[in-house]
Amino acid sequence: MTKLNKKRKWFIAISLVVPMLLLVGFVVIPAFDLFRMSFTNWDGYSKNSDFIGISNYISMLHNKDLWLSLGNNAVYFFVHLLMIPIELMFAVLLNSRLRAAKFYKTMVFLPYIINGVAISYAFSYFFSPINGAFDSVLELLHLGNLSRDWLSDNRIVNYVLSSVSVWRFSGYHVVLFMAALQSIPKDIEEAAMVDGARAWHLFKYIQIPAIMLMVDFVLFDNIRGALQVFDIPFVMTSGGPGYASSTFTLYTIKTAFSFSNFGLASTMAMAIMIMIVAIYFTQNTIIHGLILRDRRK
Amino acid sequence: MKKKLLATVLTFAMVASVLTGCSNAKTENKNTSDSGATPTAASESKEDLSGTLTFTIWDNNLNTFIEENDMVAKFQKQYPNIDIEVEKIKDDSEYWNAMKMRASANQLPDIMFNKPFTLSRFKDYLVDLSGTEASANNELANGYAVNGKVLGIPMTAGYEYVYYWKDMFKEAGATVPKTWTEFEEVTKKLQDYYGSKDKDFMALACGLKDEWPDYPFMEFMPALESGNGQNWNTMAAQDNPFAEGTDINKAYHKIYDLFTSGVLGKDPLGLGNDQVTSLFAAKKASMIALGDWGLQNIKSGAEDVSQLGTFYLPTRNSESDPYNVIVQGDSFMGVTTHSKHQEAAIAFVEWFYSDAWYPDYINYVSSASSMTNFPKDKDPILAESDTLCPDKKLIMYDGGGDNFSAIQNETTFDYKKLGAQMLTNDFNLESTLKDLDDRWKAAREKLQIK
C-alpha cells in the first residue's frame, strides 16, 4: 500500500468515525435517555426519580390543552402546505429569464436569513393593537373596519402567526425548488420545446417529475417545521391567550420548566418524534402510492 | 531530533501542569470541605479565603449597579484572593429554567437568588445561612426559613402598589379608592371619561400578553382576601379550595368582573408589560399595578413624575374590614451546596449585606430595605400610599411550600395564565373553577397529601 493510499484511508476513516461519534454522543444516547425518562416522574432537579410505567403516556393522551396545542400545529401545517404550489410557481418564475430575477431571488430569501426572534418581535409590534403598523395600513386604505385583535382573538391568532411563519420560510422553499430546477439538463427542456411543448407541459411533464425528490424534502420539512414550531408563538403571544396559540413544543417546554414535569415532557418529545415519522410515511404513501402511481405506469 | 526533544519536553510540561492543577484542586476542596460547613468561622483571616465564585443574577438594575460601581474590585479590597464572576441571565423565567438544568447537572452557581415560591424547590441545594450576621440583621429572613433553616437572605422587602396620575384623577373627578367597590367605580369612571376621547385609553394598564403582569391580582388577591399569607399552603390541605365561598373563589370573581368590565382598554391581551408601562408613563393610561421595582421603569419613561402617586390595592369589601397589604421578601441570596468554596461564598453574602455595599445599593433601587441595620426612607411617591393608608395590615406572603408546588404541577394550575384567559371569548369562570377543584382533589389523592 502506498503512503498516499494509507493517508487516504486514514482520512476516510476519521471522516466517518468523528461524525459517527458525535451522532452517537449527542443524538443516539440522548434519544435513548429521553425514552427512559418518558417512563419516570423526574421533576428536572431532584436527584432521584421513580419508574411509573406508561402513566405519562396515559396522562398525555388525556391532556386537553396538549390536544389544543397539537390542533394549532395543524394550522401551521395546512397553511404551509397550501403555500407549496405557490412557492413552486415562484421558483419556476424566478428560474425563467425574468428581468431583475437576482434582485427578486435575494428579496425572497432575505426573511429566512434574518433571526427568527427578531422577526417575531418586529411582527408583534406590526400587529400591536396600539400604534400597530398593520392597523395603520388598513386605516390608510380605508379598511379600518377590518381591524381585529390580531394577536389576542383566539379565532384568528393561529392564522396570523402562520402568516408570519409563511413570510419567513417560503423564501427558503423557493430557493430549494430553484436549485432543483436548475439541475434539470437544459437539452431535455429544449428538445421538448422543439417538439412543441408549452410552458405548462414543461412544468407538468419535465420539471415536476425531475424535482420530485426536492418536493419530498420540502414536504418533510413542512411536517417537521409545523410540529416543532416554537419561536414565533413563543415571542409573539407566549402561546396565549390561554393556550389558544400554544404549540406542541411550547406546551412541552411549559410542562418541563413551568410544571417541573420532565418525565411527561420527555413523553411528549417521544410523541413528536413518532408523529413526524408517521405523518411522513403517510404523506409519502399518498404521494407516491396514489398520485404518482399513474406516472410510473 | 531537536523536534523530538522539544515535543518530549512539552509533553512533560503538560503532564506536570495537569498533575499540579489536580493536586491544587484537591487541596482547595479539602480546605473548603473542612471549613465550609460552619458559616461563623470568620476567625480565619480574609486573605486565607480564595477561589472563583459564580454569582448569577437576572435583575437588570442590580447588574447595572454592579457594573457602574465595580463590585468585584470593592469586594477584592477586603478579600483579595476571591474572584467573582457575575453571570447575568435575561429574565427570571430564563433564570429558573437555567437553574433547574444546572441543579440536575450538579452545576449550580456558588451564589444564586431565589423567590419565595422557589425556596422550597431548591431547598436541597441551599446552605443554611442562619448563623450569619446578614441573617441576624434581616427582618424577613427568619419568616421564610424552611424547616428552621435560612436558605436565602432577602435583598429587598417588596411591596405592591397601584401607580396613578393625580392630574388625570382630578380632571375626571375621581378620588383614591379605599374599597374594592370604589376601585371598580373609579376605573369605570376613568375609562368612560378618557375612553370617549381616546379609543386606545386604559383606565388600568395591564400587559396581559406577557401573562405575568396580572400577578398583583391573580397571585396576591387570594392572600389579601383571606388575610392569610400562607393561603397557598392552606389550599394544599383542602380538597375543594376553589368552591363557592372560598377566598380564592371570591377573589377571582372580583378580578373577573374587573377585567371583563372594559377598564383594561380595547385589547389588553395584545400588549406586553413594557408596552403598557410606556403607555402609562405617557399618560395613555391612568393606573398600573406593579411592585416597587416598577417605579424606576415609570420614571425612565415619563417626562415629569410630579403628578405620579401611589396607593395600595384596596381589596376589602368595606372600610370596616382590615386594609390588607402584601409584603414579601424578594431576591433571596443563597449559597448552593454545589459551591466548592462555600466559606468564600458565605463571606461574599456577609460582605454584600454589610455597609461596604448594601446601603449604596438599596438607595439606588426603589425597593424597600430588608435590613434592620440599614433602614431606608421610602421614595416620596411610594411613601404616599402609607400616608393614604395609615391603618394598613401587612400580610407576609408565602409563595407556597412543597405540597402546594406538587399539586400545582400535577393540576397545571397557572394563576397568571388564568388571569389572561379570563379575557378570552369562550371563558367560563364557574366551569373553570369547578374543573380546578376536581383536578385538585384528584391530585391530592394521587400525591397522598393530607
A140-192 pLDDT per residue, tens: 999 988 888 899 898 999 999 999 999 999 999 999 999 999 888 888 888 98
Chain A residues with CB inside 8 Å of B336's CB?
none
Judged against a pLDDT cut of 90, whether residue B244 lies above it is answered with: yes
In the prediction, which pLDDT does B31 show? 38
Q: What is the mean pLDDT of residues B284-294?
A: 94
User: With an 8 Å Cβ cutoff, is A121 touching chain B?
Assistant: no
Find the closest chain B residue to A130 by CA distance. Answer: B200
Residues 68-107 of A with CB under 8 A from B: none
Find the closest chain B residue to A46 by CA distance. Answer: B104
% chain A with pLDDT above 90:
46
Chain B residues with CB inside 8 Å of A255's CB?
412
Distance CA A95, CA A114 (A): 23
Question: Cβ of A149 and B427 within 8 Å?
Answer: no
Q: What is the mean pLDDT of residues A22-34?
A: 94
Judged against a pLDDT cut of 90, whether residue B415 lies above it is answered with: yes
Q: Is the pLDDT higher at A284 or at B235? A: B235
Question: Cβ of A242 and B420 within 8 Å?
Answer: yes
Find the closest chain B residue to A150 by CA distance. Answer: B270
Chain B residues with CB inside 8 Å of A47's CB?
124
Q: Lowest-pLDDT range, A159-163, B7-11, B422-426?
A: B7-11
Span B159-328+380-447 CATH architecture = 3-Layer(aba) Sandwich (3.40)
From residue A66, give the alpha-carbon distance in Å to each of A15, A69, A252, B406: 42, 5, 8, 20
User: With an 8 Å Cβ cutoff, is B424 touching chain A?
Assistant: yes
Per-residue pLDDT band for B8 (boundaries 50, 70, 90) equals low
In the prediction, which pLDDT does A105 show? 83
Q: Give the residue extent of every domain in chain A.
A: 54-116+158-296
Is the bond preceding B390 in cis, omega lying within 30 degrees of 0? no
Judged against a pLDDT cut of 70, whether residue A206 lies above it is answered with: yes
User: With an 8 Å Cβ cutoff, is B107 touching chain A?
Assistant: no
Q: Lowest-pLDDT range, A264-278, B32-46, B373-387, B431-445?
A: B32-46
Question: Cβ of A259 and B408 within 8 Å?
Answer: yes
User: With an 8 Å Cβ cutoff, is B337 touching chain A?
Assistant: no
Nearest Cβ partner for A152 among B124, B270, B414: B270
In the prediction, which pLDDT does A190 show? 87
Chain B residues with CB inside 8 Å of A44's CB?
100-101, 103-104
Chain A residues with CB inside 8 Å of B266's CB?
129, 149
For A111-117, which contacts have Cβ atoms below 8 Å and span 24 or more sequence positions?
A: A111/A167, A111/A168, A111/A169, A111/A170, A111/A171, A112/A168, A112/A169, A112/A171, A112/A172, A112/A175, A114/A168, A116/A168, A116/A231, A116/A232, A117/A231, A117/A235
**A246 Cβ neighbours under 8 A, 6+ residues apart:** A65, A68, A69, A72, A233, A239, A240, A254
Chain A residues with CB inside 8 Å of B409's CB?
43, 259-261
Per-residue pLDDT band for A294 (boundaries 50, 70, 90) equals low
Find the closest chain A residue to B409 by CA distance. Answer: A259
Q: Across-strand partners of B126?
A: B336
What does the block give as the cell for B86?
457575575
Which helix (H) or strand (E) segment holds residue B230: the answer is: none
User: With an 8 Å Cβ cutoff, is A258 touching chain B?
Assistant: yes
Q: What is the mean pLDDT of residues B266-270?
A: 91
Residues 138-177 of B with CB under 8 A from A: none
In the prediction, which pLDDT does A290 show? 65
**B411 Cβ neighbours under 8 A, 6+ residues apart:** B436, B439, B440, B443
% chain A with pLDDT above 70:
97
Q: How far is B336 from chain A (nearest CA, A)?
A: 14
In the prediction, which pLDDT does B296 show? 87
Q: Is the pLDDT higher at B426 or at B166? A: B166
In the prediction, which pLDDT does A1 show? 61
User: With an 8 Å Cβ cutoff, is A152 touching chain B?
Assistant: yes
Question: Cβ of B424 and A241 within 8 Å?
Answer: yes
Question: Cβ of B409 and A151 within 8 Å?
Answer: no
Is 2.160.20.10 the CATH classification of the domain at B43-155+330-369? no
Q: Lowest-pLDDT range, A110-114, A270-274, B96-100, B245-249?
A: B96-100
Residue of A50, A135, A148, A152 for testing the chain B interface, max B β-carbons within 10 Å: A152
Taking only the tens place, the pLDDT of each residue in B16-45 is 443 344 434 333 333 333 334 444 444 456
Q: What is the pTM of this model?
A: 0.79
What does the block give as the cell for B345?
461564598
Question: Cβ of A240 and B420 within 8 Å?
Answer: yes
Distance CA A135, CA B82 (A): 56
Taking only the tens place, the pLDDT of each residue in B317-359 is 999 999 999 998 889 999 999 999 999 999 999 999 999 999 9
Nearest Cβ partner for A45 among B103, B414, B420: B103
In the prediction, which pLDDT does B17 show? 42
Q: How far is B417 from chain A (nearest CA, A)?
A: 6
User: With an 8 Å Cβ cutoff, is B46 touching chain A?
Assistant: no
Question: Cβ of B409 and A43 within 8 Å?
Answer: yes
Q: Lowest-pLDDT range, A198-212, A225-239, B25-39, B377-391?
A: B25-39
The mean pLDDT of chain B is 87
**B94 Cβ neighbours under 8 A, 6+ residues apart:** B58
Q: Give the residue extent of every domain in chain B.
A: 43-155+330-369, 159-328+380-447
Question: Cβ of A240 and B100 within 8 Å?
Answer: no
Question: Cβ of B271 and A43 within 8 Å?
Answer: no
Please tell me which of B10-19, B198-207, B402-411 the model is most confident about, judged by mean pLDDT: B198-207
Q: Across-strand partners of B290?
A: B161
Taking only the tens place, the pLDDT of each residue in A95-113 is 877 777 788 888 888 999 9
A&B contacts, CB < 8 Å: 87
Judged against a pLDDT cut of 60, whether residue A49 lies above it is answered with: yes
In the prediction, which pLDDT does A100 show? 78
Distance CA B34, CA B22 (A): 18
Taking only the tens place, the pLDDT of each residue in B67-110 is 999 999 999 999 999 999 999 998 777 888 889 888 888 899 99
Question: Cβ of A151 and B270 within 8 Å?
Answer: yes
In the prediction, which pLDDT does B32 show? 39
In the prediction, which pLDDT does B3 show? 54
The highest-level CATH class for domain A54-116+158-296 is mainly alpha
Beta carbons of B388 and B311 less than 8 angstroms apart: yes
Beta carbons of B57 and B113 less than 8 angstroms apart: yes
What does the block give as the cell for A256?
418541563
Per-residue pLDDT band for A198 (boundaries 50, 70, 90) equals confident
Q: Is the pLDDT higher at B283 or at B139? A: B283
Chain B residues with CB inside 8 Å of A238's CB?
209-211
In the prediction, which pLDDT does B304 show? 94
Nearest Cβ partner for B424 among A238, A242, A259: A242
**Crossing angle for the helix pair A212-228 and A64-95, nearest 10 degrees?**
150
